[in-house]
Chain A
Amino acid sequence: MSEPVITVRDVRRSFRSVKKEEGLKGALGLILKPQYENHEALKGISFTIESGSFVGLIGANGAGKTTLLKILSGLIPPSSGEARVLGYEPFKRAITFRQSISLVMGQKAQLWWDLPAAEAFDLIRAIYEIPMPVYRERLNTLAELLDIQKHLHTQIRRLSLGERMKMELIGAILHWPKVIFLDEPTIGLDVLAAHKLREFLRVFNQKEKATIILTSHNMDDIERLCSRVMIMRSGEMIYDGNPDGLTRKGERRLRLRLMQNPEAGELAQTIGMPVSAIDIGNGNDEAATEAAEEARTFHIHLKTEQIVPVLQSVMGKYTIIDMGIEEQSLEFVIQRLFEGTKLG
């Protein structure tokens, strides 16, 4: 299919909020002469998305990710510009449009907590008018894929966070939407649960050819799922493309542990690079940080051609205990993007 599922052209969104002041005078002022503040959440964004893509949307809090999702799912209108989803103008919220999309917000539950999931899904069946046999078949398939058949009749409030999120996902997918918006689906989940959820999303995207847009803080989500990444910063799109495109620009990460265990500054001086190029003890080697006596792990961010000279200068002064050359992590690259440093 060549026709894009989602088209966004120069979309802007500003909103005003009321300035609140304390006390009775403030309250009266609120009623009589409210003071407004204008914020720009989106500052002119354009892109298109092809059918069946899996797109990751990254950005810090307040970057405009959720605003963008809200515009695409028809909750709020853009202040200017044009958005089209499945050929519809989302904010008109045509019934047929609402039938074919789904919005999952990791922090907002749509299912009733007091009910077993099966009962809550029954409501979704009624809302989307899913024929009974189709509904049963889908529920079986989804529950099997996510491995929670045995929890379908447990009250949702008694489920673990991970199981609850799985239920939310099933609830969001039962009507077989063509476009799925996921806002922070793995928030608060442990590594294993997040992994299962991702695996499910990947399979669903491949099998059903549904277009999925996912926002996340979790780089793993993006790295493992998305064929395309969009990075936002304060309302602007600062990167849009292949996730590999971000890292494969000859950037590498050199992992080092040294017998002498020098300070980062000292090491930086030795190799003739800025301290900012060196990270100490990544989350991956928690064992190393725990034993404070042991040598720390340094991660030096550099270009391929720098590896040899850097290693030479390091070996001239220190003894290497352990080393390795790794792919640059997406997280680091994005961190840099956020800080405003363009990649060379």
Chain B
Amino acid sequence: MKTLTAYLEIFRVQFKNNFVREAVYRTNFLTSVFTDMIWMAVEFSLFKVIYANVPNLAGWSQDQVYFFLGTFFSSDAIFTIFFQRNYWAFGDLVNKGELDILLTKPVNPLFLALTRWMSLTAIFNLILGLGILIHYAGPAGFEGGWHWLLVAFWLLIGVTAASVLRFMFSIWVFWTDRGWALSRLYYQFFQIATKPDPIYPRAIRYTILTALPFAFIGSVPARALLKGLPAWEYAGVAIVLTTFFSLDALLWKRGLRRYQSASS
């Protein structure tokens, strides 16, 4: 077995290498920061327009929704920093046979595949997201104090949810050579995650809390932080995430087997 320190060292080098890589492309930094700021502005304006017409949306005040947006952007930023690009690269990994190289390394190949690309410019998004979260925490009625520790916990849940879900949408490259269509579908569904889940009608809401848990990315964390969750929902989060995690692991194994049996 590889030791934990070995894995940490690999992670450190990957991080450093990504930093070196991004330092070369500085214009890229400005573009992506600018793009993401506009994206956040659009999401904010949408709610601004809506709250210009109604004072309250499914029990959420404007400040609470902004707090939700802060949570959502932070969670998404962490996902972007560590995972996003790796999942986009997943298709090439399988279709162009780059996985071969990883499989001969004395390290878990999935670990190598998922730590390869990092988008360090998204650290800026994280700062912005946390800024929004902190700014609206008071007006939204967030208790503060030791509850700030819970923010870290729920952001972790959000990132885990995004990661296991995105994995589910990427893994199919083992079976179809046009896997990008599913990746695009993920980002279609992802739009659903940009709104707090209580505003959805029951059927949709039920779906995004179970089979397609997009609500876990930002909405459930924000709700938990502001209003607390009933006990059964904690259990729900745990069960859904474990299920997804196991399914992902199973599919990865199956996929590898298929990859190995189909290649010549």
Q: CA of A55 to CA of B9 in the docked complex: distance in angstroms?
A: 36
- B107 in contact (CB, < 8 A): yes
**Complex Cα spacing A262 to B155, Å:** 84
* From A39, A74, A108, residue with most partner B Cβ within 10 Å: A108
Q: Write the nearest CB–CB distance from B53 to chain A, whole angstroms.
A: 44
**Is the CB–CB distance between B103 and A93 below 8 Å?**
yes
A73–B104 CB distance below 8 A: yes
Chain A positions 57-99 with a Cβ under 8 Å from a chain B Cβ = 66-67, 70, 73-77, 93, 95-96, 98-99
B260 touches A110 (CB 8 A): no
Distance in angstroms between the alpha carbons of A102 and B20 in the assembled complex? 27
* Pair A98/B104 contact, Cβ less than 8 Å: yes
A320 to B104, CA, bound (A): 58
Q: For A67, what are the chain B residues with a Cβ–Cβ distance below 8 Å? A: 264
Q: A18's closest neighbor in chain B, by CB?
A: B262
The reply to whether B101 and A110 form a contact with Cβ atoms under 8 Å apart is yes
Quick check: is B100 within 8 A (CB to CB) of the other chain?
A: yes
Chain A residues lying within 8 Å of B260, measured Cβ to Cβ, are 75-77
9-residue interface stretch from A125-133, A248-256, A288-296: A125-133
Q: B1 in the interface, Cβ–Cβ < 8 Å?
A: yes
Could you tell me if B24 and A98 are in contact, using CB atoms closer than 8 angstroms? Answer: no
Is A212's beta carbon under 8 Å from chain B? Answer: no
Q: Which residues of A contact B145 (CB under 8 A)?
A: none
By size class, the interface of chain B is: 20 to 34
Q: Specify which chain B residues have a CB less than 8 angstroms from the CB of A96 in the assembled complex.
A: 106
Judged by a CB distance under 8 angstroms, whether A112 is at the interface is yes
B95 surroundings in chain A (CB, below 8 A): none
CB neighbours of A98 from chain B (8 A):
104-106
The answer to the question of B127 belonging to the interface, with a C-beta cut-off of 8 Å to chain A, is no
A108 CB, nearest partner CB in chain B, Å: 6
Q: Given the complex of chains A and B, what is the CA–CA distance between A122 and B103 in angstroms?
A: 19
Selected interface stretch from A113-121, A215-223, A304-312: A113-121
Please give me the residue from chain A that is nearest to B22 by CB atom. Answer: A114
Question: What's the dominant secondary structure at chain A's contact region?
Answer: mixed
For A91, give the chain B residue with the smallest CB separation. Answer: B260
Contact for A74 among B6, B10, B104, B263, CB less than 8 A: B104
Interface-centre pick from A99, A112, A116 (highest chain B CB count, 10 A): A112
**Chain A residues with CB below 8 A from B20, complex form:** 115-116, 119
CB <8 Å contact, A126 and B100: no
Which residues from B are CB-within-8-Å of A122? 13, 16-17
Look across to chain B and name the residue whose beta carbon is closest to the beta carbon of A104.
B101
Within the complex, what minimum Cβ distance (angstroms) separates B16 from chain A? 8
Q: A16 contacts the other chain (Cβ, under 8 Å)?
A: yes
Q: Which of B9, B261, B264 contacts A126 (CB 8 A)?
A: B9
- Complex alpha-carbon distance, A240 and B104, angstroms: 27
How close is A64's CB to chain B, nearest CB, in angstroms? 8
B228 at the interface (CB under 8 A from A): no
Nearest CB in chain B: distance from A177 CB, A: 10
**How distant is the Cα of A119 from the Cα of B12 in the complex, in angstroms?**
12
A76 nearest in chain B by CB position: B260
Task: Flag if B17 contacts A70 (CB, 8 Å).
Answer: no
Residue in B closest to A116 when the chains form the complex, CB atoms:
B20
Given known pairs A105-B101, A129-B6, the reply for A114 and B21 (CB within 8 Å) is: yes
Distance between A2 CB and nearest chain B CB, rounded to angstroms: 28
Q: Do A120 and B262 form a contact, CB below 8 Å, given A98-B104, A105-B100?
A: no
Residues of B within 8 A of A (CB): 1-2, 6, 9-10, 12-14, 16-17, 20-21, 24, 96-98, 100-101, 103-107, 112, 260-264
Give 19 pairs: A residue, B residue, CB < 8 Å, sorted on A: A17-B262, A66-B264, A74-B104, A75-B104, A76-B261, A77-B260, A96-B106, A98-B104, A98-B105, A98-B106, A105-B100, A105-B101, A114-B24, A119-B20, A122-B16, A123-B13, A127-B106, A127-B112, A129-B9
